Amino acid sequence: MKGAIVGFGNIAEKGHLPAHRKLGIDIVAAVDICPKRREVAAGYGLNVYESLTELGESEGLDFLDICTPQNFRLEAVEFAVENGLDVICEKPICHPDDLEDMKRIVGGSDIFFLPVHNWKYSPHYLKAKEIISSNGGRLERLQMNTLRTTYSHGNEDWDPDWRVHYDISGGGVLMDHGYHNIYLAMFLFGCEFKEAKLNHIEFFDDSRIEKKVNCELLFSCNGSRSSCDASVEINLEWNSDKREIKNVFFEGDHQIELCENKIISNGDVFEFEHALSGDSVHGAWYPDVFADFIRCRELKDPKYFREAVKVIEGIKEIYSQAKA
């Protein structure tokens, strides 16, 4: 199986490429608009191209691995569909303004699309899911807190501040960290949310980029169409005085706490080698993500794409409430 990486930044170099090579996936090329990043990719033995047009059909590819910032992803997916290539795509799968076009293009194709929802593969959340299931799966309420002192900076060879440029990122802390929280909540509850509610939002001065958000997702885990029986509160900050991830799970009278490298449940303590805030790449989780790509691509199940779409629909709803 042969693939090309589109956008050879930090995540591609430190996370995706090593994972592909560990699994024996043949990454033969990289596409990047930045000359310095093409030089870096060439140093790993990859054929390099400035554009998808230049790449064309020259490599005999089976898939694209899209690691660009959000505003470039629609173009890459269009190229993949036109050339019959399956897709691995970093989160968020597109700029919010491109979502309807993304749904039309992917929905009208027969490609397999796997969003990189890599936090579902972390040992921390897998263990939390295991504990919840062993208790009967009665998760009723979830509090998720992601605190950062600032936004994550991109590669210095291109634009390290792209996450605070709306035209590129499509949003701030909600698009960056909240996206993870939303798909993790659906993973932990085992169903899609029914409603998204904004409680509080703060923006950087003279900006469409939010630095602080508190929001809720309401779930109907019992299948009811008329009522919700579970919820998650998500608190996100890019202006905190500390860097921390802390989740609290409520199952009736039982409480589970996940904070960085430790889970506490019923007096039991489960510790992990790495803290959730230890780095921004989490390279150890990618091999399992890409192993699922290999395993699932022949089935072409659209549920993975639908999950990513649902996340961005929730984000867009929260942004729309901020404008109201």
State how far the Cα of 310 lies from the Cα of 124, in Å rounded to an integer.
Answer: 23
Neighbouring C-beta atoms of residue 251, cutoff 10 Å? 18
| Cβ–Cβ under 8 Å, residues 36 and 60 | no
User: Over the stretch 248-272, which tens digit does the pLDDT of each residue have?
Assistant: 999 888 899 999 999 999 899 999 9
Question: Where do the DSSP E strands lie in the chain?
Answer: 2-6, 26-31, 47-49, 63-66, 86-89, 113-115, 141-147, 193-203, 210-219, 230-237, 244-251, 254-259, 262-265, 268-271
Q: Write down how long the chain is.
A: 324
The percent of residues in the chain predicted with pLDDT above 90, rounded, is 91
User: Over the stretch 179-211, which tens digit does the pLDDT of each residue have?
Assistant: 999 999 999 999 999 999 999 999 999 889 999
User: Over the stretch 225-235, which tens digit does the pLDDT of each residue have?
Assistant: 556 789 999 99
CATH superfamily of 2-117: NAD(P)-binding Rossmann-like Domain (3.40.50.720)
| Cβ–Cβ under 8 Å, residues 195 and 226 | no
Neighbouring C-beta atoms of residue 124, cutoff 10 Å? 21
Topology, domain 123-281: Dihydrodipicolinate Reductase; domain 2 (3.30.360)
Beta strands 244-251 and 230-237 are: unpaired
| Cβ–Cβ under 8 Å, residues 249 and 258 | yes
pLDDT at 280: 86
Q: Which residues of the chain have pLDDT under 50?
A: none
State how far the Cα of 155 lies from the Cα of 222, in Å rounded to an integer.
Answer: 45
Phi, psi of 47 (to 5 degrees): -75, 135
pLDDT at 229: 86
Domain boundaries defined on the chain = 2-117, 123-281
State how far the Cα of 309 lies from the Cα of 107, in Å rounded to an integer.
Answer: 11
- Joined tokens for residue 184: 């993790």
